[in-house]
Amino acid sequence: MSANRPQIETFGCRLNIWESEVMRDKAHEAGLNDAIIFNTCAVTSEAEKQARQSIRKWRRERPDAKIIVTGCAAQIDPNTWRDLPEVDYVIGNHDKLDADNWRNLEQGLLAPVHVSDVMEIRETASHFIDEFDDHTRAFLQVQQGCDHRCTFCIIPYGRGPSRSVGVGAVIESVEKLVASGVNEVVLTGVDITSWGHDLPGTPRLGHLVQQILKFVPQLPRLRLSSIDPAEPDHLLMDAIGTEPRLMPHLHLSVQHGDDVILKRMKRRHLARDIRRFVEEARRRRPDVIFGADMIAGFPTEDESAHQQSLALIEACDIPLLHVFGFSPREGTPAARMPQLDGGIIKQRSRDLRALGTRLLHQTLDNLVGSQDELLFEKGNQGHLRNFIKAKITGDVFYASGTVLAVKVIARDGDMVLVEPQDTDDKGAS
Ligand code: SF4
């Protein structure tokens, strides 16, 4: 990070990564270049512990810097963060995107704790980012907050009600990002499948995807961050089947494979809905690769329920797994349910991760001989269209952001080795 810009430590989701870019610009414009900003996550107690450790480390290294804490953990429990001796300011999740607050902080006019009630927020402003530091793939917020109340989840209390960014503002942002050299845009939010419910005519996510691809023909790759399989719309399913620039990679918020546990989680889908969604998406787009968020060790989960999770992931062939060992979040209904032993939670998390690795290796072996396009990120590595990690053979280096036609020649651990598809490659050095 260049010396004259604020240091930002980001924890958690892609939405936080995007918001950190917005804050970096606004804090920089306010002249707050000696500040260190911590954009926290509250999804697990581990995420909060990591933020506290990072704050202590930076305070030791930069005793005179202004230390500012924001993000979901700060929004949900501001006083706990204010009470840390290293911390100077605590700013709310909505307040962190307001340029006035950064200016007031720089001029010493902001209260040490400036956190507004996020449950009162009804609109979500669109913030244009000039560039996306260190990221060849640009995350773009199209939705914020959540109206659901999954029993394990604290996010709605940190992010407020669901609200959408208008189509016009999204398209303008995509155009700006593409003009700045970005080749892939990832639509992100807390629950992007609910995008549009608060807009005139209540359009759905599929409409937004089709509008972006129609009005920004120069955008090579559009990716969805994560979708709720309980709420796919027909335009989205059409786009999955017909839009080659919509990447063949769908990350699903599955969480569990047992229907009783899914009901206790207050999820809006059952196991059969996942199977049906995966089958239909695969029928329309045979090269699609799935990922999923899964929770291991949810309260009252017994061995057979755990086996249902393993069976669902296997049956749907979902190789890109994000596995979370259940972590009770104070204030959620699941935190008041009878908790499982920590050792069982760890073992079941290992089971799911081991299954994910096995399915991933099978998927990678099946890709050998296939052709794809690699978006270079760091050095000679990047991601294919299906979000599989890939490394190019040989010692030719390609500029970050280059998109190259490649052929998969072998599996290499959890990624594939590829070679250039044809010789007159652009960007080779
Ligand atoms: S859909 Fe459920 S898990 Fe996702 S943010 Fe909303 S409450 Fe949390």
Element spanning 411, H or E = strand 403-412
**Ligand 1 pocket, residue 334 CB under 6 Å:** no
Mean pLDDT per 10-residue section of the chain, whose length is 429 residues? 77 91 92 94 92 97 96 96 97 95 96 94 65 71 95 96 95 94 94 95 97 98 95 94 98 98 97 97 98 98 98 98 95 97 97 98 98 93 97 88 96 96 54
Query: Would the CB of 176 count as within 6 Å of ligand 1?
Result: no
pLDDT of residue 322: 96
pLDDT of residue 94: 92
The upper half-sphere exposure of residue 69, i.e. CA atoms within 13 Å in the direction of its Cβ, equals 33
- Structural domain total, the chain: 3
Ligand 1 pocket, mutate which of 76, 150, 205, 253 (most atoms under 8 A from CB): 150
148 in contact with ligand 1, CB cutoff 6 A: yes
Same domain, 355 and 380: no
Residues 321 and 214 occupy one common structural domain:
yes
Give start and end residues of each alpha helix (H) in 119-269.
Answer: 155-159, 167-179, 205-215, 234-242, 259-264
The neighbour count for residue 109, using CB atoms within 10 Å, is: 10
Does residue 99 sit in the same domain as residue 235?
no
CA of 51 relative to ligand 1 center, distance in Å: 22
Ligand 1: does its nearest atom lie under 6 Å from the Cβ of 156?
yes
For residues 164 and 255, membership in a common domain is answered with yes
Give domain status of residue 376, yes or no.
yes
Taking CA atoms only, the protein residue closest to ligand 1 atom 8 is 153
pTM: 0.91
Are residues 419 and 392 in contact, defined by beta-carbon separation less than 8 angstroms? yes
Q: Is residue 310 part of a domain?
A: yes
Distance CA 24, CA 37 (A): 9
Domain, as residue range, for 180: 138-367
Side-chain-side CA neighbours of residue 162 (13 Å):
17
Of 82, 116, 150, the residue at which a domain comes to its end is 116
Q: Which atom of ligand 1 lies closest to the CA of 190?
A: 5
In a domain, 15, yes or no: yes
- What's the Cα-to-Cα distance from 210 to each of 144, 246, 392, rounded to whole Å? 20, 9, 32
Q: Is the CB of 191 under 6 A from ligand 1?
A: yes
270 and 209 within one domain:
yes
**Ligand 1 midpoint to CA 392 (Å):** 37
- What is the pLDDT at residue 335? 97
> How many Å apart are CA 112 and CA 36, to the nearest integer?
15
Beta strands in 20-169 (DSSP E): 35-40, 66-71, 89-91, 113-114, 137-141, 143-144, 163-164
The strand pairing partners of 139, in sequence order, are 186
CA distances from 68 to 47, 85, 87, 109 (A): 17, 12, 6, 14
395 and 410, same domain (yes or no) = yes
Beta carbons of 118 and 93 less than 8 angstroms apart: yes
Establish if 16 belongs to a structural domain: yes
- Cα-to-centroid distance, 253 and ligand 1 (Å): 9
Kindly give the number of the ligand 1 atom that is closest to the alpha carbon of 266: 2
Please give the C-alpha separations between residue 351 and each of 13, 19, 281, in angstroms, as whole numbers.
24, 34, 27
The answer to whether residues 359 and 387 belong to one domain is no
- Give the pLDDT score at 394: 85
* Residue 410 placed within a domain: yes
Query: 289 and 252: one domain?
Result: yes
Do 241 and 308 have their domain in common?
yes
Identify whether 159 is part of a domain.
yes
Do both 230 and 325 map to the same domain? yes
Cα-to-centroid distance, 270 and ligand 1 (Å): 16
Element (H, E) at 278: helix 271-284
2: in domain:
no
262 and 316, same domain (yes or no): yes
Integer Cα distance of 145 and 338 in angstroms: 28
Q: What was the pLDDT predicted at 5?
A: 83
Q: Return the bridge partners of 372, or none.
A: 406
Environment class of 27 (CB within 10 Å of its CB; exposed 0-12, middle 13-18, buried 19+): buried
CA distances from 117 to 79, 198, 232 (A): 14, 20, 31
150 lines ligand 1 (CB under 6 A): yes
Q: What is the DSSP letter of 196?
A: T
409 burial level (CB within 10 Å; 0-12, 13-18, 19+): middle
* Alpha carbon of 156 to ligand 1 centroid (Å): 7
Of 54, 57, 81, 68, the residue nearest 20 (C-alpha): 68
d(CA 95, CA 361): 44
Compute the distance from residue 132 Cα to the ligand 1 centre, in Å: 27
pLDDT at 396: 82
Indicate the top mutation candidate among 75, 163, 188, 191 to test ligand 1's pocket, ranked by most ligand atoms within 8 A of CB: 191
Q: List, in order, residues 6 or more apart from 242 with CB less than 8 Å away.
A: 284
- For a mutational test of ligand 1's pocket, the pick from 148, 163, 226, 262, i.e. the residue with the most ligand atoms closer than 8 A to its C-beta, is 148
Measured by CA distance, the residue closest to atom 4 of ligand 1 is: 191
* Domain CATH code at residue 310: 3.80.30.20
